Structure 1
Amino acid sequence: MGYWKLLFFAFHILTSFHGLCNGQPDFRAHVCGDNGTTSMYESNKNTLLSSVAPNIGRNGFYNSSVGQNSDRVNAIALCRGDVELDICRSCVNDSTHKLVQLCPNYHGAIGWYDKCMLRFSNYTIFHQLDIGPERSLFSLNNVSDSDVPQFNQALRLMLDRLREKAKSGDSLRKFASERTSGPAFQTIYALSQCTPDLSDIQCYDCLDGAAKAIPYCCNGRQGGRVLRPSCNLRFETERFYNETPATPQPPPGKDSSTTRTVIIIVVPIVISVILIIMFICIFQRKRKHRKPTAKIETMDEISSIETLRYDFGAIRIATDNFSDSNQLGQGGFGVVYKGTLPNGKEIAVKRLSRDSGQGEQEFKNEVLLVVKLQHKNLVRLLGFSLEGTEKLLVYEFMPNASLDHFLFGMKYP
């Protein structure tokens, strides 16, 4: 475990250097809310915002809350769907410092970069369609007057397609990008994106309203964008997002050369994999001969881990069938819900993402290890629950604890 922690620490160091090497992200717009916060609200805000960037998962989205009642702070971060995780975290980290600097002692604020958006507020913003505040930006370059009707027609049809694709995304990502041919041999590039906690209808309505704003802000322009808290869209005549290049077709008459290239690349890889598998098998066989009591120890651990197992049906009832009203937050590793057991005990249940890639026994071993490493300063892990592909972690609920204690209790790549 120490080895993996060291790798995780090194990853964050490399991420920081990556942000420095790539320069500061491009800050485009911001809006501050109402001012006049309390010291407790400011403390909760600083605690929450410092946890946002490290908690963002591969889908580039994170939401969480800290505090109670009028001092409760809610935050959402969203990175552009084509952005790599390290760039995403660097962008959100920069946005955190920028918003605190530009909007000190404010109850809410939102900031937009080219590659990310960050907002915080003292009112509920999760699963909510928020169309304002809205900001629009446009290119200084104009489309030729004679080409404007054809350009607008091509752009409108493309934005209609992107709206359908984006709203059809899942709870992890609602993002779509596309290119189309415009007048005078131009290519128009565009993207549309919603926060993934929106429903399909909410995403559609948000992007539909943003598209209807284009004629008022960006008519006749070669580029433009509409920025909303719940969605955004952008178009340009130059590519501004990352594309996955199509696999090139082999040139005619060079099949034999291609075949040789494939053999040269594939054969060493296959041989290396076979050698690694053989080495692992030999190592495991020798290990079994040297430690005949390993099986007994494993059985003891299995026996002890089963005492930590909760009935899945009981957890489902405790969380009201994992209802949105009981949701405490969401990160790249799963969603956290609040629940109440029949004896009145309050719990926090982390529902792990189904694509975590862990098997049942590996999951149980991780739970057992975390339980053995319990510390007075850590949120207590009470147990787990398994059913089919569902994996749940049951924690002791601490009302004043930051949600990152639960989201970061166990990590899954």
Structure 2
Amino acid sequence: MFSSSVSKRTVLVPILSVVAITLFFIRSVTSINETNAYLYHKCFEKDGKYKPNSLYEKNLDFLISNVWKNASVKDYIYGMEGGRPNTVYILIQCRGDSYGSKCDTCRSTAYSELRKRCPMKKGAIVWFDRCLLKISPTTFLNEMDLNNKFYMYNKNKVRDPVSFNSKTKTLLTELTKKATRGGPDRDMEVYWLYETGDMKLDGKMKLYGMVQCTRDIKETGCKKCLNRIIGELPNCCDGKEGGRVVSASCNFRYESYPFLDTRK
């Protein structure tokens, strides 16, 4: 995964589920925490294409240009523009530690990259280290999406995988409980459905973790989503020093070093 001090080789594994799940290596990436690395994208062929200068494209451009500017919260947007058959739905969400200009920069980069990688596609999603962007001609509000996901893990292995796997699951499960605890005015907090923490390991080692969901699926959906992907730890990252499962609705990451940006 991505280190704040030393670059580490990682492996990205997309998951395609048609009849059976197929896993394959797609590429290796090298990065550090300070970057906003491109992670993965998917074009939704079933949604079709729009024509240049069409009403659909104008609605999409309007959402990108105006909805973000007028939003009261600058790290998450779910919006729509236009009537059928040219309605566009959009979701933009930044990682919990990427707010302000960092989030805005990631949003701009994601939109530009999505246009390049999925030209004229009505439906698509792109993931960056600091944010995700999803567009669709149909609403996906409150719909948990685990069909579109991928794994990333550090090739380095731990000495005691059984113990390490157990502690990793314990940490991520505890973070999930905190992220989905709800309560009065919880939905007004900047870090809603996002939680970070760490756990002491043997010696001086620590395990650092993060969980986050897109806010459209609410607390109940978030808890279900995170529990599902945490359950994939043996497939994703068995005995690996670091790893993550990233879906369109939720994601987790853990590392043996601090990987989040604590600078304001």
TM-score range, shorter chain: 0.7 to 0.9
- Alpha-carbon shift at residue 59 of structure 1 (Å): 5.6
**Paired residues for 1:1-400 under 5 Å:** 25-34=36-45, 35-38=48-51, 39-58=54-73, 60-144=75-159, 147-169=160-182, 170-172=186-188, 173-183=192-202, 185-243=204-262
Corresponding residue number in structure 2 for 1:294: none
Name the CA shift for 1:52/1:229 in 2 (closer, same or farther; >3 Å).
Answer: farther
Corresponding residue number in structure 1 for 2:17: none
Give TM-score, length-normalised by structure 2.
0.77
CA distance in 1, matches of 2:133, 2:37: 13
The answer for unaligned runs of 5 or more in structure 2 is 1-33
CA distance in 2, matches of 1:228, 1:184: 33
CA RMSD of aligned residues (A): 2.1
CA distance in 1, matches of 2:67, 2:152: 27
Instruction: Return the structure number with greater helix share.
Output: 1
CA distance in 2, matches of 1:52, 1:29: 24
Name the CA shift for 1:24/1:54 in 2 (closer, same or farther; >3 Å).
Answer: farther
| SS, match of residue 71 in structure 1 | coil
The answer for unaligned runs of 5 or more in structure 1 is 1-22, 245-413
Please list the CA deviations of residues 41-72 of structure 1 after superposition, one character each: whole Å capped at 9, or x if unmatched. Answer: 22222222233543454461111111111211
Contact 1:150–1:182 under 8 Å retained in 2: no
One-letter code of the match for 1:171? D
Contact 2:68–2:74 under 8 Å retained in 1: no
CA distance in 2, matches of 1:227, 1:31: 13
One-letter code of the match for 2:210? L
Please list the CA deviations of residues 103-158 of structure 1 after superposition, one character each: whole Å capped at 9, or x if unmatched. Answer: 011121111111111111111122222222111111122212xx111111111111
How many residue pairs were aligned? Answer: 221
| SS, match of residue 99 in structure 1 | helix
| SS, match of residue 199 in structure 1 | helix
Q: Report sequence identity in percent.
A: 29
Give TM-score, length-normalised by structure 1.
0.51
